[in-house]
């Protein structure tokens, strides 16, 4: 068993390293309105005189029904009609889909995960058959592995004992792919009660596949509590059985994350999502002029900040604004060439497209573009903030204020260097008046960010802030 904080720390690191994966079970669809296994098979159990509540092996029930009826037509029809109907996404599903994760495995037949990912604007490469594993979309696509099939093709869904017994003949490529991911990725199992009849088959495959190459994975468990009317003996029996399950899962490298209630899951995922984004730092700033206080040291501040983020393995997001973007890029390129490090690990250029102000959608397009930057950037730093207008005058770069509002909306950690003046000063003053909204910033932070014009002093203070954010 691991504590929530330890799990979050390890899984955040996996996301930032690009090695995180999700394994989704039937539980994520239950609150969306889909049937669980017992309800799906209840009418079939009734028809062969079995009580579904007394049966623990539901795969066996499906097989018995097929045996008696001579076909699985009715099961196929049930799967098609149940899982093709529209269902609402839950907060948990939406959070899973919004994370910067590229690998999703599921035993579910529905389209909840794929639809949620598409709603996030992501390209989705869905693997349903062995043939589909041979063809891939571009590198930016998210891959969903439906190892037990899809409701659009119910005759090939894995549901009976026959299906499981011939799995490695028909779907051996899925087995190989799963083996590779279990060794190289860190999985979070979500929506598994660990009573799910699918899971014991999956776990047996995992142990066979991995051997001694066991990587740590995680799952959620709700702590057993004594229910009204439950005897002490009954409660202790259930609690003991849960402990035995947890210990057994450790054979497969799966560590239990203990929760007081499964309702905590969305809050945990929200925190993981926010902290995982903190590897990306957006430097919002533009400078037609650096102003009197920074005329000789403005470039040095930008250079030192860029070097700080590079040395600490952050990725800088820049809009390539005048007086700021070019110095960020040149600093990073100098260090990247020296260290022979991949550029994409340290820099993401999100320059604004050509400003077609005659376009009726121009304002909304700008907002969407800024929101897309805030969505991937867990930390935003504001410096300077001025530009030259059409008349050659130096004016406030009002777009930075929009970027501030977008950062607030997306719960980014905001660090304003107010002493650089202009819009950065305005943002600083606004935050200074509402300090309680930014508990990660101390009085010392505000003092230095608001008054110091020494680049080294400011960069050292921002280093302290970043260390503090890492511990949240």
> Within this chain, do residues 267 and 284 fall inside the same structural domain, yes or no?
no
Task: Tell which wins on pLDDT, 89 or 462.
Answer: 462
Contact 44, 304 (CB under 8 A): no
pLDDT at 344: 83
The residues assigned a catalytic role are: 148
Do 112 and 167 belong to one domain? yes
Residue-range definition of the domain harbouring residue 445: 278-470
The predicted model scores a pTM of: 0.86
Q: Which of 129-133, 322-326, 374-378 has the lowest mean pLDDT?
A: 129-133
For all residues of the chain together, what is the average pLDDT? 89
CA angle 208, 211, 214 (to 5 degrees): 115
Q: What is the pLDDT of residue 203?
A: 72
| Token pair of 384 as six digits | 């300077």
Q: What is the pLDDT of residue 87?
A: 63
Same domain, 350 and 379: yes
Are 36 and 153 in the same domain? Answer: yes
DSSP state of 2: B
Structure-block tokens of residue 103: 């690998």
Q: Quick one: 128 and 169 in the same domain? A: yes
Query: What was the pLDDT predicted at 379?
Result: 98
Long-range contacts of 435-443 (CB under 8 A, 24+ apart): 438/414, 440/413, 440/465, 440/468, 440/469, 440/472, 441/415, 441/465
**Can you name the residues that pair with 23 across neighbouring β-strands?**
105, 189
Domains in the chain, number:
2
Does one domain contain both 205 and 317? no
**Helical segments of 160-196, H only:** 161-165, 167-170, 172-184
Summarised one tens digit per residue, pLDDT across range 239-254 is 999 999 999 989 888 9
Chain segment 180-238, per-residue pLDDT in tens:
898 899 999 998 876 655 566 677 777 777 776 678 999 999 999 999 999 999 999 99
Residues 371 and 311 in one domain: yes
Verify that 419 and 322 share a domain, yes or no.
yes
Long-range contact pairs involving 389-392 (C-beta distance under 8 Å, separation at least 24): none
Q: Which residue has the tokens 């159990």?
A: 45
Return the H-helix or E-strand segment holding 315.
strand 315-318
The reported pLDDT for the residue numbered 134 is: 80
Q: Are residues 290 and 164 in the same domain?
A: no
**Co-location of 342 and 450 in the same domain:** yes
pLDDT surpasses 80 at 31: no
In terms of domains, do 89 and 128 share one? yes
Q: Distance between CA atoms of 391 and 99, rounded to whole angstroms?
A: 44
**368: confidence class by pLDDT, cuts 50, 70, 90:** confident
Tokens encoding 342: 């991949």
| CATH code, domain with 457 | 3.40.50
By DSSP bridging, strand 413-416 and strand 379-384 are: parallel
Confidence of residue 30 (pLDDT cuts 50, 70, 90): low
Identify whether residues 270 and 310 lie together within a single domain: no
Last-in-domain residue among 274, 307, 333:
274
Give one DSSP letter per residue of 206-266, joined into a string.
Answer: HHHHHTT-PPPEEEEEEPP-PPTT--HHHHHHHHHHHHHHHHHHGGGTEEEEEES-GGGHH
* Residue 280 · residue 377 · CB < 8 Å: yes
Identify the domain boundary among 225, 254, 274.
274
Of 274, 309, 343, the domain-final residue: 274
Asked if pLDDT for residue 265 goes beyond 90, the answer is yes
């Amino acid at each position: 068993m691991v504590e929530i904080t330890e799990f979050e720390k390890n899984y955040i690191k996996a996301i930032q390293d690009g090695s995180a994966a999700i394994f989704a079970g039937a539980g994520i669809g239950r609150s969306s309105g889909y049937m669980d296994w017992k309800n799906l098979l209840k009418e079939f159990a009734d028809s062969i005189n079995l009580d579904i509540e007394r049966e623990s092996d539901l795969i066996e029930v499906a097989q018995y029904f097929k045996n008696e009826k001579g076909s699985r037509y009715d099961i196929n029809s049930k799967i098609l009609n149940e899982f093709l109907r529209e269902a609402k996404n839950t907060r948990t599903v939406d959070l899973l889909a919004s994370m910067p994760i590229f690998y999703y495995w599921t035993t579910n037949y529905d389209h909840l995960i794929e639809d949620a990912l598409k709603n996030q604007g992501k390209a989705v490469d869905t693997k349903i058959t062995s043939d589909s594993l041979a063809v891939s979309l571009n590198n930016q696509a998210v891959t969903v592995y439906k190892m037990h099939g899809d409701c659009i093709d119910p005759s090939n869904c894995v549901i009976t004992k026959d299906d499981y017994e011939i799995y490695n003949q028909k779907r051996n490529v899925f087995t190989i792919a799963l083996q590779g991911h279990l060794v190289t990725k860190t999985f979070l199992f979500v929506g598994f009660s660990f009573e799910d009849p699918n899971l014991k088959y999956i776990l047996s495959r995992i142990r066979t596949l991995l051997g001694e190459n066991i990587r740590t994975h995680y799952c959620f468990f709700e702590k057993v509590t004594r229910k009204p009317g439950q005897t002490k003996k009954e409660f202790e029996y259930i609690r003991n059985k849960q402990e035995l399950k947890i210990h057994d899962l450790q054979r497969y490298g799966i560590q239990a994350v203990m929760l007081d209630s499964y309702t905590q899951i969305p809050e945990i995922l929200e925190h993981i999502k926010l902290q995982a984004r903190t590897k990306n730092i957006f430097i919002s700033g533009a400078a037609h002029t650096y102003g009197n206080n920074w005329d000789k040291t403005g470039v040095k501040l930008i250079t030192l900040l860029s070097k700080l983020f590079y040395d600490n393995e952050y990725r800088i997001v820049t809009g390539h604004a005048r007086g700021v973007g070019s110095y960020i890029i040149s600093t990073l390129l100098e260090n990247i060439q020296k260290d022979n490090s991949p550029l994409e690990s340290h820099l993401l250029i999100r320059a604004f497209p050509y400003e077609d102000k005659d376009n009726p959608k121009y304002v909304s397009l700008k907002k969407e573009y800024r929101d897309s930057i805030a969505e991937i950037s867990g930390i935003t730093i504001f410096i300077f903030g001025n530009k030259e207008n059409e008349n050659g005058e130096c004016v406030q770069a009002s777009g930075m204020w929009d970027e501030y509002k977008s950062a607030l909306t997306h719960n980014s950690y905001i660090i304003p260097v107010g002493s650089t003046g202009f819009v950065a000063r305005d943002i600083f003053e606004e935050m200074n008046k509402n300090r309680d909204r930014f508990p990660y910033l101390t009085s010392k932070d505000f003092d230095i960010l608001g008054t110091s014009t020494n680049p080294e002093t400011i960069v050292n203070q921002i280093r302290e802030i970043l260390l503090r954010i890492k511990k949240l």
